[in-house]
Amino acid sequence: MTSLPQLPPVVGQDWLAEHPDAVVADVRWYLDGRDGHEVYLAGHLPGAVFVDLPTRLAAPASAEQGRHPLPGPDAFAASMAEASIGDDSVVVAYDDAGGAYAGRLVWMLRLLGVDAALLDGGLHGLNEFCLSPLLQQQADGFIISHVDTSKKIIVLSYSFPKRMGSKTFFLD
Q: Can you give the CATH number for the domain in which 27 is found?
A: 3.40.250.10
Is residue 46 in some structural domain?
A: yes
H or E segment at 135? helix 128-135
Is residue 153 in some structural domain?
A: no
Look at the chain and report how many structural domains it folds into. 1
Q: Is the pLDDT of residue 158 over 50?
A: no
Encode pLDDT of 52-93 as tens digits: 999 999 988 778 877 788 888 889 999 999 999 999 999 999
Cα–Cα distance, 106 to 49 (Å, whole number) = 14
- Model confidence at 14, pLDDT cuts 50, 70, 90, reads confident
Q: Is the pLDDT of residue 132 over 80?
A: no
H or E segment at 117? strand 115-119
Is residue 150 in some structural domain?
A: no
Look up the domain containing 27 and give its range.
Answer: 10-138
Is residue 100 in some structural domain?
A: yes
Is residue 164 in some structural domain?
A: no
Question: Lowest mean pLDDT: which of 29-38, 116-125, 128-137?
Answer: 128-137
53-91 burial code (b ≥16 CB/10 A, e <16): beebbbbeeeeeeeebeebeeebbeebbeebebeeebbb
Helices (H), 67-111: 73-82, 102-111
Is residue 71 in some structural domain?
A: yes
